[in-house]
Amino acid sequence: MQMEYEILEKNEDFEDDTCVKSSSHFEQSSEFFSHLPILLNAIDDNTDNEEKDVEQERVLRKLISLIDPYQEQPYLLDPHLENMVKPIVDLFRIYIRSFNAQDLFLSRNSKDNLTKDNKIQVSNKIKRLFILMYYLMKIRGYKTIVKFFSHEVSDLEPTYYFLVALDPKDYTGWETRYVLLIWLSLICMIPFDLKTVDSLANDTEGKKAKRDGAAVLLSRLLTRRDIAEVYLADYIQWAQDEVKNNKDVFTITGILTSLCAIYKLGQRQTSLPTLDIAWPCLSLLDDNQIFANNTLVRKMLVKLAQRFGLCYLKPKVAAWRYKRGNRSLKDNLGYNSKTTSIDPLNINQSLKEVVEDEDEIPDQIEEIIEILLNGLRNKDTVVRWSAAKGLGRIAQRLPQELADDIIGSLFELFSENTYKRNGVLELSAVSDHTWHGVCLAVAELARRGLLLPERLSEVVPWVSKALKFDLKRGTHSIGAHVRDAACYVCWSFARAYEPKVLAPHVAELANSLVVVSVFDREVNVRRASSAAFQENVGRLGVFPHGIDIITTADYFTVGNKVNAFLEISVKIAKFEEYKHHMIDHLRTITISNWDKRMRELGAKALHNLTRLDLDYMINIVLPYLIPLAKSPDMDTRHGALLATGEICLSWSLIKGNDKSWIEEHEPLITRISNIIDSLPDTLFTSFGSEVTVQAAVNHIACLAKANWPVNSEILNNWKWVVKDLLTRKDETGQQMAVDALEAIIVHYGIEEKEILKYPFILFHISSLFGFTKKFCEGFRGFVLALGVIRYDKIPECLELSVNSLILSSKLQETKMWNDPETRRNAFTSFTVISKNLGESFKTFCSKSIFDKMLEAAFVGLEDYNVDLRGDIGSWIRKASMMYLAVICPLMARLDQKDPNCEPWLSDELIKKIFGNLLKQSVERIDKIRTCAGNILMELLYARTDDGENWLFNIKGREVLQSTLPKDEEIHWISPLELYPRMVKLLVLPDYRLEALTGFVLAAGGLTESLIRHSSSTLLEYASELPNTSTPGTFTLSEFANTLLEIFRKYERVDRVVIPLLEVLDLLLENETLQKIDPNSFSFEDLFECVKKEVTKTREIRKLTCCARVFCGMTSLNENLRNRSLYQLLGLLVRRLTADQLYLTLTSMEDEESENLLQIEDILANTDWNNPVPQLKEIRNQLYPLLGLKLPVFKISTGS
């Protein structure tokens, strides 16, 4: 059989990664500036009330919500920052100057006013602006925002005294303090004479944001030359004492933050003498273990060590560092991106011998470098990142020999806990934290030109390993952050070196980046690798086919994992330089990944890549994978079985009808055929065997589709494995087994005795009532398997199979056997059988079998069973409709081809089918309405093969097609749009009963919108119906008679009766039914139907509905009024009935007004929650008052 090769594409079996939308500008700018004046103008409004306060709070939250999404792209706010910040700062200045804060401060600190509460209370109006300013600083960074603040000398004293005069116990105003502290850090850079800073020291132990602001202010103050000479040493000594003795983590963090800022901003000659005082701070963790687990403390200590080191060393740029020459993208892109033949000679021509300054390196530097190297091992990313940056900055000031020692230490960290096994470097014992930190450090050194070209031959192999770093830990793996950092290293290489320097390493780097771009599990790593590849292509121009690849595998396309694996990989693998490396990555790494989805995608990717290099797959990949299929590691075994099957299937598709490859590669084919036989039996029976069995069945399915040459023994073993998976309860596995079985049947055939021996049918029938629930769940697979048997080859088994499926589709007397999945699968098998038989359906299937199948489908459409999962019957109804969508067009065409014989699909059956579809198309479940509606449209507009006539003889076609036009998109999921359209079809008498039943069921739905739209549409339609009958019109009495017919058809079926009662209540309340001529409709019959439903029922919802309907019937006629009142008084011991009766009587016009008032008094003043015997005596008083005879009650003997 000739088969055309097709590349596997993404499908619904594989989940997609979501590509996050990114903005190009501040899209909400107009909305932001329309809301901002509300807060600004509120400052001048002296009238305070709760409504305005709530409105201003809402506006504040709105403004924050508009800018908060830009935390990842804060630079987009830059064009608008001045207009955002300046109006707010201007109001701050006016507000602060309105307080005489200096006098408050002085009076508060005077001896005469120590007990007075001289504190500033910030109003909520201005506090909201401070909160907004804090969020702007949080999103864009205070360094950027503070540029727009005022920095005049006149602002210093008011701002300072205002800050000090704030109530320290007002913990809700921390944003105000933070903004003021940042503002003061700007103002204090202006020359002025400050006598004290002690009052600010207390803020180093406050809330984080306020603490950080205080640290910034202190650092600005204490690094001024005039202040530093007087106060810096004292502050450092105070800080050192606090670090040594204080146990409060907030205070310690604030002090360390201020020290880091001081040694960052201060001049070296001023800060250097204080290092000896501050040095003991670095031993904080040794002296106080309580801080050992605090991430922020560890980060600040690493940062402080870095600042100490930079202070010890003179600020200079190492003369020995590598200086890249050409940095023009235009010139770099001038290289031929499809060649790597660059002469790597003279790569050090720019590295001339320089004479290093013979500055003495302090001994403390060695200890600082050790602290930073240990920081690379830290468990927290922020600590490792700070240590990496510190190493880069310090190495930039060191002599070449010492800097080279740092690089050597990094290589030692790479090799830490590694060992070789079978000649391969094993990384299972290494620390992912260490590798991540070392990668960051290498990237920093390379970016700064401190990693000299001669070291690249050592570092590139480690980076390549880091790009594929993935350590399995139980049921997951770690290493995504390491791979991401390795991409950063490659990105740094592109910015640091000239093309000729990296030329010897291009092949290794390019291949590693490509496989990570398309085959990594994490979307952020794929994108990071793609960005690094793009950077190298743009700046170096030496990556093979760089431009072609970056246009194929860009930031967005690699964001979708399925797309990257199955489509992008094929496009890149067409380039010879990358093909084998990509295949090797899949066979060695991806197929052993801990994630099952990754292994499945890897196998599919190998299927697609086989077409590009079949010989490599045959000679290298398959011999490598075959032994792995028996690996003791479950993940490796699963991936090898999947990959082997997919490659063999692709191999067969490529060769097509050419069978010469079978003899040519007979030894390899034999090894592949024996893979399943060679698997130990324990792999199919032990705990967790589901994964292996599924992989084995998938392997079998691929080989069967490839028509793989096997003997009968192997084939029987395959069938046994497939049967084993069929009996398991996992539905995904059952579907895989059915697919494999279908492939076996199609390519190898199956005999009648084999079917009977292979218990698809008899096993099912004989065991139906003899096994446990667990086996019942496993039966679902056998039911599906019955559908894929090719009955055109074995027609004698068809009737037996259909009878078995019909039995499976019915509700069983034993509740345990009522498995909805089994019933659903039965109709799925009907669909598959019909498709497979196709044009030969009548040849192999008798009319009696067809009638049975169709009748079973009608029964399935009435399946409304419910369990804890919800409406499980909807699964069966949907499967039944899918079967009708296949069998109806097929049978209609077969009937037209044989016009002399009686059609199997009669007009009556067509009417019944369309009626059921109309009913389902207006019911309450969205997906059922959509399925039914689509099938309805498909059948309604189906044409014969010649396209000249309609395929079905449908009654009322004109009305149906005008209501459901083909050229309009109908939103079946929208009740608002659907029900006003579908209600017009009630004029068709052939489908009226089913359509109205669907409307009634929708009116009793669970969602408010569904009930509202369906019931309101039905009421409006009924109220507009004419009351007099004329030819061709649909009258109100016909509508009511249809409701009565539904009552009789679904007697005692609560799922229909209760919604029907609710519809009747609405029609009576709306006085629609009262318009009907009594001669054209029997209200007595309607009353009897309601009476039957209320008798002997304990369903509260049903009793309540019946009571409301009886109340409505009191307005019809005298006879029904009295009979309804008898029923209501019989229910009167219920409080809800009393309420309904009271409302009904108060709306009635009665001559005996005194009796009516007495009745109302009894109903309103009786506590209907009292014991029933007491209530019955009160109820009996109402009979004579209503003009009714007291009935004779039967004495109950049951209680």
Phi/psi for 472 (5° steps) reads -80, 130
* Residues contacting 437, CB < 8 A, separation 6+: 375, 376, 377, 378, 384, 387, 388, 413
Q: State whether the Cα torsion 816-821-822-827 is positive or negative.
A: positive
Query: Strands, DSSP E only, in 383-468?
Result: 419-421, 424-426
Q: What is the pLDDT of residue 613?
A: 94
Tokens 């499908």 found at: 11
Spatial separation of the C-alpha atoms in residues 961 and 671, rounded to whole Å: 61
Where is pLDDT greater, at 881 or 128?
881
User: Among 278, 194, 193, which residue's Cα sits nearest to residue 235?
Assistant: 278
pLDDT tens, residue by residue, 444-478: 999 999 999 999 999 999 999 999 999 988 888 89
Q: pLDDT tens digits, residue range 36-46?
A: 888 888 877 77
Question: Average of pLDDT values for 1148-1168?
Answer: 70
Amino acid at the residue 474: G
pLDDT interval class at 1133 (50, 70, 90): low
User: Is domain 364-568 in CATH 1.25.10, yes or no?
Assistant: yes
Return the exposure string of 937-965: e unless at least 16 CB atoms fall within 10 Å of the residue's CB, then b.
Answer: bebbbeeeeeeeeebbebbbeeebeebbe
- The pLDDT value given to residue 111: 41
Q: Are 100-312 and 364-568 in the same CATH fold?
A: yes
Q: What is the residue extent of each domain of the chain?
A: 100-312, 364-568, 1036-1185
Cβ-based neighbours of 925, under 8 Å, separated by 6 or more: 871, 874
pLDDT at 353 over 50: no
DSSP code string of 961-1005: HHHS-TTS---TT-HHHHHHHHGGGGG-TTTHHHHHHHHHHHHT-
pLDDT of residue 338: 41
Instruction: Report the distance separating Cα 941 and Cα 1188, nearest Å.
Output: 60
Write out pLDDT tens, residues 385-422: 999 999 999 999 999 999 999 999 999 999 999 888 88
Nearest Cα to Cα of residue 845 among 810, 799, 808: 799
Share of the chain above pLDDT 90, in %: 46
pLDDT for 1199 beyond 70: no
Q: At residue 331, does pLDDT exceed 90?
A: no
Q: What does pTM read for this prediction?
A: 0.78
Phi (first) and psi of residue 790, to 5 degrees: -85, 95
At the top level of CATH, the class of 100-312 is mainly alpha
Mention every residue, 6+ apart, whose C-beta is less than 8 A from residue 814.
Answer: 769
Q: How confident is the model at residue 773 (pLDDT cuts 50, 70, 90)?
A: low
Cα–Cα distance measured from residue 408 to residue 424, given in angstroms and rounded to the nearest whole number:
22
Q: Nearest to residue 1035, comparing CAs of 993, 987, 1068, 1083? A: 987
Q: Distance between CA 211 and CA 931 in Å, rounded?
A: 61
**Cα distances (Å, whole numbers) of residue 1027 to 1020, 1023, 1040, 1067, 1139:** 15, 10, 11, 15, 33
Measured between alpha carbons, how far is 506 from 341 in angstroms, rounded to an integer? 10
Would you tell me how many other CB atoms lie within 10 Å of the CB of residue 367?
Answer: 15
Written as six digits, the tokens of 92 are: 């701050």
Q: How many Å apart are CA 298 and CA 374, to the nearest integer?
A: 11
What is the 8-class DSSP label of residue 420? E
The span from the first CA to the last CA of the chain, in angstroms, equals 78
Establish how many alpha carbons lie within 13 A of residue 13's alpha carbon, considering only the half-sphere containing its beta carbon: 13
Residue 449: which region, alpha, beta or left (left: phi > 0; alpha: psi -120 to 50)? left
* pLDDT tens readout for residues 621-631: 999 999 999 99
* C-alpha span between 597 and 639 (Å, rounded): 10
CA 572 to the chain's CA centroid: 29
Contacts of 1093 (CB under 8 A, 6+ apart): 1051, 1052, 1057, 1061, 1102, 1106
In this structure, the chain runs to a length of: 1199
Largest CA distance in the chain: 124
Encoded tokens for 826 = 């039965």
Give the model's confidence band at 763: pLDDT under 50 very low, under 70 low, under 90 confident, else very high. very low
- Residue 3: predicted pLDDT: 40
Q: How many CB atoms lie within 10 A of CB 209?
A: 19
Residue 365: pLDDT over 60: yes
